[in-house]
A and B are shown apart, each in its own frame.
Chain A
Amino acid sequence: MIAFTAKKALLDRIAKAEGEEGWTLPAFSTPPADIAAFSLEYGLHPAFVNLLIAIGGIDLGFWRQVIEGLPSGADSRLLVTRWIGWLWTDPEHGLRSKIADEKLKAGGDLILDLQERAASGEDISKSQWRSARSALANAATSDEVETAAAAGAAAAGWDLESVPGAAADMIYAWKGTFFAEIDRDLGWNDEKEAAANQRREKIHSAGLAYADSDAARSEASAAEGAAKDEASMARYREQYQKGVQDYVAANPSDLDRRDELRNASYLEMYRLGREGLLRQIGQLGDGRPESAVA
């Protein structure tokens, strides 16, 4: 549980990171032992820190919002369980709402039930977790959206004490759900996939051709030297992008819609994930620091 002094210390650390010191908080490539040490230092559960890394990335504003919102004495492990519950059951955005198959729904419900029992102190055995995950994996459906949504529940089917990254794993499957919905809505199929791949190659070639012709023009009047090389590389990248943009503008295609929608879905997913976590924190209390150490 996060104590008042630890919360203050962590907010100080975030303030330093916002200043000249730069990023000193855990990130996606931080080794588990370092995440565990960071968690211990600030009284946070490693599963909570893993989730914060996954949905907060290096957005210091979000880190600050989360830590400021945590009431002293907050049980951050419980928050992770509640976030898992939110992502599974939220009527509007929850993964369960995307599933019609009763077996898959029951499989996801069982994972959430195990998480809630574990959070309340019950000892859930490895075989119970494994069996719950297997039930979901074996409940086959041909619907890609349902499969991806069920994978989200399966991703959370681990003991958070020994596998603290499990809740953060739900993000992969959540992304898969967004992508599957986009493909369904666009009627995406193998034919469109092949056409999109061909188009990507053409776009890439157009970018290269434009940049190469610009580079050839520049070389004729170029001075030698490393500084010139760096500047040339930057210009080459810039001209490549211009070639790409010109080609896309001159040759519009609905095939590009998939990538546009995927990029937008990423942003939406992280926005929702952050809102979901802040909502769980908001429900714990008013977030004002207390003087007593819980």
Chain B
Amino acid sequence: MANVEAATDDTFEEKVLNAKTPVLVDFTAEWCGPCKAMAPAIEDLAREYEGEVAIYLLDIDANPKTRHAQGIMGVPTFLIFNHGEVTGRFTGSMSRSKLAAALESAIEESK
């Protein structure tokens, strides 16, 4: 996906758990149609909240350790982290605004 970086089992702690800003992780998979349908929304959110929120994709098939650790049962799943803690969890397709509202709460809480 253009403009959105990937996180992996190796980088998850550094990029997500130790991040200073809120983080949205899009747990996705190559074979997942709804994930592809959500991709433009995730790119839009990355542009909208650039500098305020970090957004990463995580391929659950290539990164089983994080998938198990975060209890991901299906894709797409979106987790919002604030200072290493999960503050929001969403599964399935949804509007940009729903994720945006959760991100804005996380931004407020992180101040």
- How many angstroms from the CA of A137 to the CA of B36 in the assembled complex? 26
| Shortest distance from the beta carbon of B91 to any chain A beta carbon, whole Å | 13
- Is B44 an interface position by the 8 A CB rule? yes
- Is B33 an interface position by the 8 A CB rule? yes
Beyond A29-B37, A154-B95, A166-B96: 7 further Cβ-contacts under 8 Å?
Answer: A32-B40, A130-B48, A134-B101, A154-B101, A157-B97, A165-B41, A165-B44
- Is B86 an interface position by the 8 A CB rule? no
B18 neighbours in A (Cβ, 8 Å): none
A157 neighbours in B (Cβ, 8 Å): 97
- Is B43 an interface position by the 8 A CB rule? yes
A74 neighbours in B (Cβ, 8 Å): none
Give the number of A-B contacts (CB < 8 Å): 60
12 A-B pairs in the complex with CB atoms less than 8 angstroms apart: A29-B33, A29-B36, A31-B39, A126-B48, A133-B100, A137-B97, A151-B97, A151-B98, A154-B95, A158-B44, A163-B48, A173-B95
Chain B proximity mask over A4-46: 1 for CB below 8 Å, otherwise 0: 0000000000000000000000001101110000000000000
| Minimal Cβ-Cβ distance residue in A for B1 | A31
Are A172 and B95 in touch, CB under 8 angstroms?
Answer: yes
B41 neighbours in A (Cβ, 8 Å): 165, 169
- How many angstroms from the CA of A242 to the CA of B101 in the assembled complex? 44
Interface hits, B34-52 → A, CB 8 Å: 36-37, 39-41, 43-44, 47-48
Contact residues of A with B, CB < 8 Å? 28-29, 31-33, 126, 130, 133-134, 137, 151, 154-155, 157-158, 162-163, 165-166, 169-170, 172-173
Are A162 and B97 in touch, CB under 8 angstroms?
Answer: no
Are A137 and B44 in touch, CB under 8 angstroms?
Answer: no
| Shortest distance from the beta carbon of B66 to any chain A beta carbon, whole Å | 24
| Shortest distance from the beta carbon of B76 to any chain A beta carbon, whole Å | 13
| Minimal Cβ-Cβ distance residue in A for B33 | A29
A32 neighbours in B (Cβ, 8 Å): 40, 43
A169 neighbours in B (Cβ, 8 Å): 41, 95-97
A134 neighbours in B (Cβ, 8 Å): 101, 104
| Shortest distance from the beta carbon of A188 to any chain B beta carbon, whole Å | 18
| Minimal Cβ-Cβ distance residue in B for A111 | B97
Given contacts A29-B37, A126-B48, A134-B104, contact A172 B43 (CB under 8 A): no
Q: Identify the 3 closest CB pairs spanning chains A and B, nearest first.
A: A169-B95, A155-B95, A29-B36
- Is B62 an interface position by the 8 A CB rule? no
Are B101 and A137 in touch, CB under 8 angstroms?
Answer: yes
A158 neighbours in B (Cβ, 8 Å): 44, 96-97
Choice from A28, A130, A151, A170 contacting B104 with Cβ under 8 Å: A130
| Minimal Cβ-Cβ distance residue in A for B102 | A137
- How many angstroms from the CA of A271 to the CA of B101 in the assembled complex? 29
B97 neighbours in A (Cβ, 8 Å): 133, 137, 151, 154-155, 157-158, 169, 173
A166 neighbours in B (Cβ, 8 Å): 96
- How many angstroms from the CA of A165 to the CA of B40 in the assembled complex? 8
A162 neighbours in B (Cβ, 8 Å): 44, 47
| Shortest distance from the beta carbon of B42 to any chain A beta carbon, whole Å | 11
